Amino acid sequence: MTPATRQKVLGLYRKIFQIAKKWQSASGQTEETVKEKEYIKNEARTLFRKNKHVTDPKLIEQCIEECEARIEIGLHYNIPYPRPIHLPPMGLAHKQGRTFRHQEKLRKISKPIYLKSHDEVS
């Protein structure tokens, strides 16, 4: 990892914890705010530790983009949790064959960047 990339990653990590420190839930309830603050901190720790040993520059850049997208979406909607996506079910394809593999590939491609690592952690 280059020093510039390392600084960017550490800056994002600090930014997340600053956001968590100032976070106020949309409902305004104290217990909800505390839960959301803890979620933000735990999610950040988990994902940064999981990706600690990543060395591929392209993969690092994808992780940075995902982090920035999740920060922007969380701040915009005032919800720290990943927003759900609604993809059509794969009900038309059989469990094997070309159509199924093609639909699986399309579903994987269409998944938003801010949810790339969410399914792996949860």
Averaged pLDDT, 72-91: 77
Q: Is position 62 within any domain?
A: yes
Band of the pLDDT at 85, cuts 50, 70, 90? low
Band of the pLDDT at 114, cuts 50, 70, 90? low
Residue 78 has pLDDT above 50, yes or no: yes
Q: Is position 17 within any domain?
A: yes
Q: Is position 109 within any domain?
A: no
pLDDT of residue 82: 78
Cα dihedral sign, 40-45-51-55:
positive
Helices marked H in the chain — which ranges? 3-22, 30-50, 57-77, 98-110, 118-121
Least confident of 48-52, 72-76, 111-115: 111-115
Q: Is position 95 within any domain?
A: no
In the chain, the number of structural domains is 1
Q: What gap in Å lies between CA 60 and CA 55, rounded to an integer? A: 7
Q: Is position 22 within any domain?
A: yes
- Count of CB atoms within 10 A of residue 67's CB? 23
Averaged pLDDT, 41-51: 93
Q: What gap in Å lies between CA 95 and CA 1, rounded to an integer? A: 41
Q: Is position 8 within any domain?
A: yes
Q: Which domain holds residue 31?
A: 3-85
Summarize pLDDT for 15-29 with one digit per residue, the tens: 999 999 999 998 889
pLDDT of residue 22: 95
